[in-house]
Amino acid sequence: MTIPAFSISRLPRILFGTGQLAEMPKLARSYGRKALLVTGVRSFRASSRWIWLTERLTEQGLSLEHMAVSDEPTPQLVDDAVAAFHGRRIDLVVAIGGGSVLDAAKAIAGLLPHGNSVMDHLEGVGRNIPYTGPATPFIAVPTTAGTGSEATKNAVLSVRGEHGFKKSFRHDCLVPEYAIVDPDLLDTCPPDLIAADGMDAFTQLLESYVSARANPMTDALAKSGMEAFRDGFFAALQGGDGEQARAGRGAIAYASLMSGITLAQAGLGSVHGLAAPLGAFYPIPHGLACGTLLAEATAVNIRALRERVPEHPALKKYAGIAELLTGHGFKTQMEACNALVEHLDDWTERLALKRLGDFGVESAHVPRIVANARGTSMQTNPVTLTDGEIGEILIARI
């Protein structure tokens, strides 16, 4: 077998496993004497781990600054933080939280040495000034399992409303120095957050697996992530301290990490293409948008591939994932692909995911959403969808 040529961009150094948070204070001290801690507003700061961590960091001789992120980060939040902390000789930025916290901290770390606005560099809506670094060293510690932001070079920022947007500040310099992925940090996540974030991670794995830029290495990582997700997701949803729940949290933490690596290397697809304008125009949580669209988007992709490029390798991949998820063999590729869509539909129903209409999306809004959906993610979808096909995905979930 001939292995096709491919390239892999920069990745963080990764510490994965139960108890790995304990390694962070010593690592942090190796970067200097002053750290900016970026967290969410509630969960982690209300836990005993927050007291433990700040005490250990202080024992290492670190002086600490702190800021909290309460929602999806905006350019204004990033600019305000940069204005507040630029010049304070911050040696290290540490983010402990969900994807929003990690994305905010990533952008702040990138701009702290320079003191300028993120709008200088935000793709598609900014001033289009090339970013060249350097960034302040950055350690990412996810407390949810969904975005995989700990493994990527892009900080997603958004402005909600009629003229809203969801765009990335993106550069290799923004990749974290370390990603510390400790499944124990998921034990305070409520089931609805695990469900939405988990579906985001699975969507990223599936979309990167069938992406136009997929390669043998990302395929292997995406497949292992989907296997872990299959085995752990519903156990993690049960919560508690039992062995199955703990194993489930470990599995989805791994799946999320793999999804961040594969999306960074291979790109995504139509679900994330649509999630960007949906998240900008409506108060729809990103993971929920991905989860509610995934089955329909997969069905539309499969149909378009059958009609226009029936020999496309993505069809074989979709069929293989049907076997992976269901544990069944299928007589034909078409039967397997249909079973995959049915399986994803079943997940949507079991999770009782809200529909787009619950957030104010109406049929009359579809053309505007479609017009704003052809960003970077849509460009790596395995097949180019028509406006009508993209609209179908939305209509089915309103």
Asked if residue 271 belongs to a domain, the reply is yes
Overall number of domains in the chain: 2
Asked if residue 19 belongs to a domain, the reply is yes
d(CA 302, CA 310): 9
User: Of 154, 186, 218, which closes a domain?
Assistant: 186
Asked if residue 281 belongs to a domain, the reply is yes
Asked if residue 314 belongs to a domain, the reply is yes
User: In the prediction, which pLDDT does 162 show?
Assistant: 80
SS in 3 state form for 295-307? HHHHHHHHHHHHH
SS in 3 state form for 248-265? HHHHHHHHHHHHHHHHHH
Q: What are phi and psi of 6, to 5 degrees?
A: -155, 165
Asked whether residue 132 falls in the same domain as residue 235, the answer is no
Asked if residue 1 belongs to a domain, the reply is no
d(CA 251, CA 232): 5
Degrees to nearest 5, angle at CA 31 with 25 and 35: 65
State the residue range of the domain holding 392.
Answer: 191-396
Asked whether residue 223 falls in the same domain as residue 303, the answer is yes
Asked whether residue 133 falls in the same domain as residue 63, the answer is yes
CATH number where 102 lies:
3.40.50.1970
User: Of 169, 186, 203, which closes a domain?
Assistant: 186
Q: Retrieve residue 116's tokens.
A: 């300028």
d(CA 267, CA 106): 19
Decide the pairing of beta strands 165-170 and 154-159. Answer: antiparallel
> The pTM is what?
0.96
Write the CA distances from 146 to 142, 192, 196, 229, integer angstroms. 9, 12, 8, 11
d(CA 364, CA 280): 17
Asked whether residue 305 falls in the same domain as residue 226, the answer is yes
Give the burial class of 64: count Cβ atoms within 10 A of its Cβ; 0-12 exposed, 13-18 middle, 19 or more buried: middle
CATH number where 251 lies:
1.20.1090.10
Neighbours of 224 (CB within 10 A): 15
Q: Retrieve residue 219's tokens.
A: 């395929």
Written as tens digits, the pLDDT of the chain (398 aa) is 789 899 999 999 999 999 999 999 999 999 999 999 999 988 788 888 999 999 999 999 999 999 999 989 999 999 999 999 999 999 999 999 999 999 999 999 999 999 999 999 999 898 989 999 999 999 999 999 999 999 999 999 999 888 889 999 999 999 999 999 999 999 988 899 999 999 999 999 999 999 999 999 999 999 999 999 999 999 999 888 889 999 999 999 999 999 999 999 999 999 999 999 999 999 999 999 999 999 999 999 999 999 999 999 999 999 999 999 999 999 999 999 999 999 999 999 999 999 999 999 999 999 999 999 999 999 999 999 999 999 999 999 99
Asked whether residue 320 falls in the same domain as residue 340, the answer is yes
Asked whether residue 81 falls in the same domain as residue 162, the answer is yes
Asked if residue 43 belongs to a domain, the reply is yes
Asked whether residue 300 falls in the same domain as residue 330, the answer is yes
Asked whether residue 344 falls in the same domain as residue 239, the answer is yes
Asked whether residue 246 falls in the same domain as residue 158, the answer is no
Give the burial class of 118: count Cβ atoms within 10 A of its Cβ; 0-12 exposed, 13-18 middle, 19 or more buried: buried
Asked whether residue 71 falls in the same domain as residue 180, the answer is yes
Neighbours of 191 (CB within 10 A): 12
Place of tokens 């433990």: 52
Asked if residue 3 belongs to a domain, the reply is no
How many CA atoms within 13 Å lie on the side-chain side of 371?
6
Asked whether residue 251 falls in the same domain as residue 384, the answer is yes
Asked if residue 5 belongs to a domain, the reply is no
Asked whether residue 198 falls in the same domain as residue 181, the answer is no
Specify the DSSP element, H or E, that contains 142. Answer: strand 138-142
User: Of 138, 161, 186, which closes a domain?
Assistant: 186
Q: Is 320 helix (H, G, I), strand (E, B) or coil?
A: helix
